[in-house]
Amino acid sequence: MTETPSPARRRWDPIVRITHWSIALAVLANALVTEEGSGPHIWVGYGLAAILGLRLLWGLVGPAEARFSAFWPSPHKALSHLRDIRAGRKEHHSSHNPLGALMVYAIWGCLLTIIGTGIAMAGPPPWDGSEREAEHRTIATATQGEDAEGEEEGGEAGEAEEGPLGEIHETAANLLYLLILLHIGGVIFETRRSGKQVLMAMAPLGR
Ligand code: HEM
Ligand code: HEM
Amino acid of residue 139: I
Separation CA 73–CA 96 (nearest Å): 10
Q: What angle do CA 103, 108, 112 make, to 5 degrees?
A: 150
103 falls within a domain: yes
Average pLDDT of the residues in 5-34? 89
What pLDDT is attached to residue 129? 59
Tell me whether residue 146 is in a domain.
no
Structural domain for 75, as ranges = 14-124+166-200
Q: Would residue 152 count as lying in a domain?
A: no
Burial, 192: exposed, middle or buried (Cβ in 10 Å; 0-12, 13-18, 19+)?
exposed
Residue list, ligand 2 pocket, CB within 6 Å: 16, 19-20, 23-24, 27-28, 55, 96-97, 100, 104, 107, 180, 183-184, 187, 198-199, 201-202
What's the CA-to-centroid distance between 146 and ligand 2, angstroms?
48
- Residue of 172 and 123 predicted with greater confidence: 172
Q: What is the pLDDT of residue 145?
A: 47
How many folded domains does the chain comprise? 1
Q: CA-to-CA distance for 90 and 56, rounded, in angstroms?
A: 29
Residue of 73, 76, 75, 69 whose CA lies nearest to 94:
69
The percentage of residues in the chain with a pLDDT greater than 90, rounded to a whole number, is 70
| CA nearest to 61, candidates 13, 9, 18 | 13
pTM of this prediction? 0.86
Provide the total of helices (H) and of strands (E) in the chain, helices listed first: 7, 0
Predicted confidence at residue 15, as pLDDT, reads 97
Assess if residue 153 is contained within a domain. no
Burial 3-27 (b: 16+ CB within 10 A, else e): eeeeeebeebeebbbebeebbeebb
Cα(135)–Cα(138) distance, integer angstroms: 5
CA dist 76 → 72, 79, 98, 104 (Å): 11, 5, 9, 16
Q: What percent of the chain has pLDDT over 70?
A: 78
In a domain, 137, yes or no: no
| Plot region of 129 (φ>0 → left; ψ -120 to 50 → alpha; else → beta) | left
Task: In whole angstroms, give the CA distance from residue 74 to residue 97.
Answer: 11
**33 DSSP assignment:** I
Closest alpha carbon to 162 in 124, 128, 117: 117
Cα gap 92→105, rounded to integer Å: 20
Task: For ligand 2, pick from 23, 90, 92, 187 the residue to mutate: most ligand atoms within 8 Å of CB.
Answer: 187
For 130-169, how does the pLDDT look when each residue is reduced to its tens digit (9 = 90+)?
656 545 544 554 555 444 444 434 333 344 455 999 999 9
Is 159 a member of any domain?
no
CA 65–ligand 1 middle distance (angstroms):
32
38 domain residue, yes or no = yes
Assess if residue 93 is contained within a domain.
yes
CB-based contact 26:55 (threshold 8 Å): no
Q: Measuring from atom 31 of ligand 1, which residue has the nearest CA? A: 118
Which atom of ligand 1 has the smallest separation from the CA of 135?
A: 40
